[in-house]
Structures are given as structure tokens and as C-alpha cells.
Amino acid sequence: MVTIPATSMDISATIAKQRAFFATGKTKEYDFRIAQLNKLAQLIKDNDQLILDALYSDLRKPMVEAFGSEILGTISEIKYMIKNLKAWMKPQKVGTPINLFPSSSYIYAEPLGVVLIVAPWNYPFVLTIQPLVGAIAAGNCAILKPSEHTPHTSKAIAKIINANFDPDFVTAIEGGIETNQALLAERFDHIFFTGGTAIGKIVMQAAAQHLTPVTLELGGKSPCIIDSDCDLEIAAKRVVWGKFYNSGQTCVAPDYLLVQKDIKPALIEKLLACVKTFFGDNPQQSADLGRIVNERQFDRLVGLLDEGKILIGGQSDRSDKFIAPTIIDQVSQNSKIMAEEIFGPILPILEYDQLSEAIAFVNAQPKPLALYFFSKNKKHQEKILQEVPFGGGCVNDTIMHLGNPELPFGGVGNSGMGSYHGKSSFDIFTHRKSVLRNSFRLDLKWRYPPYTMSLETLKKFIN
């Protein structure tokens, strides 16, 4: 395995070599891109147990969850890219106005160059590799920075990438804060960052020094609104699944419930039943519940348990980084738990009377990364979709919008900048180069001085 020391000098040298490799034009070739995507897919398949073991060591991820979200999701993205890449790479002919006759107009998909991908710890494999898929498909060189907070997965990624790819094309660099700082001090052609809003601001500030474009996949408090006209049985299952998947450490997890007050008691009863059905009477013994990533996050989450009325859960074990799936009622809108993204297995419940109240409450907060609305009422569905800004979401489900490569994934405002998945992943790492092709066959003299067309004649074109 190739080991790359994370010093400023070595990082600068690595970037210089990648720029030189990109300048050869190799990465622009269709066959090269397809070969690298196929190689990446095969490497993931060949190393699936290494990846699963690493995810278990870092987050105690249940194998089914880990395989579905981290491995299957990545392979599906690669397959989608391979299927569509030839069409996406072709120059796109667009319309040309009659006054530009006889020219024609095209848009060329041009790779950006050398890109940096900085990944988070909650889905440490897929959120490192899935952006890489887009970068490769678009014809770029890339440097990966896996999260130091999930060291086993970081090592697995570095082993897979650095032992099998030319470092002048793609390489993974491990390290902590100093490595991140050294990377961000360099000039890249694009930076793709997934993580918290506070760090996102630091990344954007560093990128501004070089006028480097950025994609920021951040987070926020994603609301889940439950209407009175709803199948409570199914809603409860989908809410509990979406909230406690990966122990709530999901950027698009339902952060809090806004429940119509008339159905609140019935919904709570079904929510509690689902938690017991999914994780048993002793969730710490459940094979289907992961763990909090580290003690720092554990301590932060435990500090949120002293507000409201705990309906189920609340148990914790610091030595095991375990926090039980917890549902809390009687939470104040101004409480600490409502002031920050929870990012853990704690679900507060608020209530509303009229749907307009719920909409007003959500719109008074920063724009969320996701929103979920459960209702059979089509007018209510449309009201939510038209009146509430959010990155993406579901009607009558949670999280599942991430599984469709046709849907761009990204935030808005504080929850992010730019989107990816599927064609959007290709686009985010591509410059759309506009080209007008003219002919020598016809050369109209009116465009050249001395001008013979009168101003009155020219004004007719705007009527």
C-alpha cells in the first residue's frame, strides 16, 4: 500500500503530480473513465467484508444497515454512472437565435481538474466514495480525505484506494485537523465537503482565498410533520426507522416531530410500540442498533436528555457509547434540544393545531436539509411543498429520497450548497463550456463598422 505523509510539502507535491497527470488528457477519455469506475466497483465488491468490519469497529453498524447504505448505495451509483456516461459526455446541441444564422451552438462537459473530497464520520465510506464516483465520471483527478473520527474506515479506504489507483490520479490522505488545514490551504479546482455547518463555513472561507468553487453538504434540524389525516401505523414505523437508523447519526434523519394535537396520543402509542418491536426491551443487546461515534458526541447527546418528559429510552452507557432510542414529549420550542441538530437517537415531539402553525414554525427556523410530511390529504401535501423551503424530502416516508439517483441531493441556505447523486454528481464536477460554431459561407456586413443599419431599424428587433 502506498502511504502518503500528510505534510504540507507532500500534499503540495501530490497536487502538482495530479495536475500534471490531468494535463495529459488521459482522464478525459471515455474508456479511461469507464475502466476506473469498473475497477472501483470491483474493488468494493472484493473488499466488502473489510469495509463492513471497519464500519462495525467505528460505529457498531448493523451489517444489513452498513451494506445497504454504504456498499449497495455506492455500487448502485457506479452502475448508474456507467449506464449514462457516454450520453452525458457528448456535446449538447442547443438552439441558436435567427440573428446568429448560420451558426450553431453547443455545450461541452469539461472536467474541472483536481478536486478535494472531505468526508464525514456518520457514513464514512459512502460519503467518501460516492462523490469520488462523480469526480471520476466527470474526468477529474481527486484527493480524498476520510474522517479521522472513524479511523478503521479511514484506513480501509486508504488501503483500497492507494493500493490500486495511481496516486497521480486518485489518492486518499489520512490525518486530523492539521491535515485538513494543510489541504484547505492549497488551491483546488473544486472542494466537496460533507459535514457540519460550522466547519462548512471554515471550508468556504479557505476556498475563497483561491476562488475555489465548493459543494457543501451540511445538515440542520429536519422536521417531520404528522397530519391528522394519516395512516398512523405506517407513519410510526417509517418515522422510527428513519430516526434511529445509524443511531440517529444521519444528516437527513427526522430531527423532531410536529404532530397534529388530536392524533398525538394515538401516534405516541404506536411510536413506542415500534421502538420495542424494532429493538426489544433491552436495546443495548440489540444487534440492529449501532453506537455513538465517540465520547464527545456521546456527552453532547446525554446533555440533551434532561429536558421534557422521556416516554421511552433515556438509558445510556458511556463505556459502550450506547444511548437507547429515546422519545421525548413536552418539549419547549425554546429548549436546548430544539436549538441544535440532534444527530443522535433522541426524538422530541411538539404539537400543533392548524397546519399553518406548523408551517410558520418550520419557516421561522433555518432552511432544513430534509422535510417529511405524513398525510393522505393532497391539498395539505401541496401546501407543504409550495410553502416550505427545504433541501429535499418525502411525502409519507423518511430518508428514502436518497435512494433515487434521478433526485438531486443537497441543502439550501444553512443546510448546504449544491447537490449531487446521479447526473447531479457528474454536473457538480463539470464545467459546462459554451461554444458557438460559425461558418465562413456567409458574412453579413451590417455587424461591422462603419455601421449602416439605423437605430430605428435595430429597435424593431425588440418589438
Q: Is 251 a known active-site residue?
A: yes
- Write out pLDDT tens, residues 388-428: 999 999 999 999 999 999 999 999 999 999 999 999 999 99
Q: What is the pLDDT of residue 5?
A: 47
Q: What is the DSSP string of 323-339?
A: E--EEEES--TTSGGGT
Give the residue with greater pLDDT, 444 vs 295. Answer: 295
Q: Is 230 a known active-site residue?
A: no
Q: What is the pLDDT of residue 428?
A: 97
Q: What's the average model confidence in pLDDT over 257-268? A: 98
- Write out pLDDT tens, residues 108-128: 999 999 999 999 999 999 999
Helix (H, G, I), strand (E, B) or coil at 104: strand
Q: What is the pLDDT of residue 459?
A: 85
- Write out pLDDT tens, residues 347-384: 999 999 999 999 999 999 999 999 999 999 999 999 99
pTM flag (> 0.85): yes
Q: What is the pLDDT of residue 308?
A: 93
Domain boundaries, the chain: 8-218+414-435, 223-410
**Which is the catalytic residue, given 217, 224, 230, 351?**
217
Residue type, 252: V
> Residues for the chain: how many in total?
463
Is the separation of the CB atoms in 321 and 292 below 8 Å? yes
Residue 6 pLDDT grade (very low, low, confident, very high; cuts 50, 70, 90)? low
pLDDT above 60 (res 344):
yes
- From residue 222, alpha-carbon distances to 17, 140, 341, 351, 368 in Å are 42, 33, 8, 16, 5
Q: What is the pLDDT of residue 161?
A: 98
**Which is the catalytic residue, given 141, 224, 230, 251?**
251
- Classify domain 8-218+414-435 by CATH number: 3.40.605.10
Burial 171-189 (b: 16+ CB within 10 A, else e): bbbbbeeebbebbbebebb
CATH fold, domain 223-410, is: Aldehyde Dehydrogenase; Chain A, domain 2 (3.40.309)
Residue 460 pLDDT grade (very low, low, confident, very high; cuts 50, 70, 90)? confident
Q: What's the average model confidence in pLDDT over 239-255? A: 97
Q: What is the pLDDT of residue 134?
A: 98
Residue 2 pLDDT grade (very low, low, confident, very high; cuts 50, 70, 90)? very low
pLDDT above 50 (res 248):
yes
Is the separation of the CB atoms in 141 and 169 below 8 Å? yes
- Write out pLDDT tens, residues 446-457: 889 998 888 888
